[in-house]
A = this chain, B = another copy of it.
Amino acid sequence: MPYVNIKITREGASAEQKATLIAGVTALLRDTLGKNPATTVVVIDEVDTDNWGIGGEAVTTLRARAAAQA
Instruction: List the interface of chain A (C-beta within 8 A of B).
Output: 1-9, 13, 15, 17-29, 32-33, 35, 37-47, 50-61
Indicate how many identical chains form the complex. 6
**A20 contacts which of B17, B32, B41 (Cβ < 8 Å)?**
B32
* A67–B28 CA distance with the chains assembled, in angstroms: 26
| Chain B residues within an 8 Å CB radius of A37 | 55-56
B1 touching A9, Cβ below 8 Å: yes
* A33–B31 CA distance with the chains assembled, in angstroms: 22
A26 touching B53, Cβ below 8 Å: yes
B42 touching A52, Cβ below 8 Å: yes
Chain B residue at smallest Cβ distance from A22? B53
